[in-house]
Amino acid sequence: MTHPDWECSAVIDQMFFFLDSELVDADRDEIERHLADCGPCLAKYDLERTVKSLVQRSCCETAPDGLRDRVLLSIRQVQVRISED
């Protein structure tokens, strides 16, 4: 994804990927530059970061072992059924 001049809508669209450190370095750097210059986007980022932190602190249960594998298997089964129809 190439955004030489990130607009607010593009930054907001990528906000959760940014918060979760799931962006390539170049995109992360562009968003950081945008946030340094854009008060409204920075406020949105601060809000989302705070909410994420509160959720993480509130959730003390861990997912059972194998849950991820079972979810992925279910998704694959649905995909096969859809492709067969």
pLDDT (tens digit, 9 = 90+) per residue, 40-70? 999 999 999 999 999 888 877 888 889 989 9
In this structure, are residues 10 and 3 in contact, taking their beta carbons and an 8 Å threshold? yes
Q: What is the mean pLDDT of residues 24-41?
A: 95
DSSP track, 12-40: HHTHHHHHTT-S-HHHHHHHHHHHHH-HH
Q: Which two tokens stand for residue 75?
A: 């998704």
Q: What pTM did the predictor assign?
A: 0.63
Domains and CATH numbers, the chain: 8-84 (1.10.10)
- 38 band by pLDDT with thresholds 50, 70 and 90: very high
Q: How far is CA 13 from the centre of its chain?
A: 9
Nearest to 45, CA basis, from 23, 62, 53: 53
